[in-house]
Amino acid sequence: MSISTTRGDDGTTQVGARRVSKSSVEAEVLGALDEFGAALGLARALCPVSGIRDRVEHLQRSLFTVAAEVGAPPGQRDARAREALATLLDEVTEEVHRLEKREGMLQDWALPGGHAGAAAMDLARTACRRAERALVRHAESAGLPLLLPRALLNRMSDLIWLYGRVIEMDAGVRGALRGGRGGEPGS
């Protein structure tokens, strides 16, 4: 058995039971989700905080459910997957609110690079935003709501930004603009 099947040599890729063009918006969003998962892996590997590492791994694993929801034909979406995504969205939202309450959390902007683990989180956040934009393009072009995956990626980027700030704060690293307005850019 080989991972090199040559089936993609014609410019198509497998999505569920069907083949789609590698240039399709659907393939773009699935590729962006894959890239986001890899960026989360790097962030997890460089993260010095065990609790955050565990949560990031959970987020990574959830991307398989997001991809399954995105790649499923409209009439074949799984209710259990949607329920899992809704539960995760609630968990991520609660964690965002919990971390925002940490003293000094939203007092400063971040300049990526002050700490390797935090910089990896910032890179993962930008990969998440790219996946979110690709998902919105796919949903709009295909006339699909995909509301839970969209909301989840939006919230995940907020959480990952906060994780970077926790790492920096715990390491004593300050952002670029002391006393800045705080918050995540681009949300």
Return the pLDDT at 175: 64
Report the CATH number that the domain containing residue 165 is assigned in CATH. 1.20.1200.10
Lowest mean pLDDT among 8-12, 15-19, 152-156: 15-19
Considering the domain boundaries, does residue 83 fall inside one?
Answer: yes
Considering the domain boundaries, does residue 8 fall inside one?
Answer: no
By residue range, what is the domain housing residue 145? Answer: 21-171
Q: Do the beta carbons of residue 92 and residue 159 sit within 8 Å?
A: yes
Lowest mean pLDDT among 8-12, 85-89, 138-142, 167-171: 8-12
More reliable by pLDDT, 178 or 95: 95
Return the pLDDT at 95: 98
Render pLDDT for 41-88 as a digit per residue (tens, 0 to 9).
999 999 999 999 999 999 999 999 999 998 888 777 788 889 999 999
Determine what percent of the chain is predicted with pLDDT higher than 70. Answer: 91
pTM of the model: 0.86
- Total of domains in the chain: 1
Considering the domain boundaries, does residue 86 fall inside one?
Answer: yes
Considering the domain boundaries, does residue 15 fall inside one?
Answer: no
| Burial status of residue 85 (CB atoms within 10 A of its CB: 0-12, 13-18, 19 or more) | buried
Considering the domain boundaries, does residue 62 fall inside one?
Answer: yes
Mean pLDDT of the chain: 88
Amino acid identity at 44: R
Considering the domain boundaries, does residue 101 fall inside one?
Answer: yes
Considering the domain boundaries, does residue 177 fall inside one?
Answer: no
| Burial status of residue 151 (CB atoms within 10 A of its CB: 0-12, 13-18, 19 or more) | middle
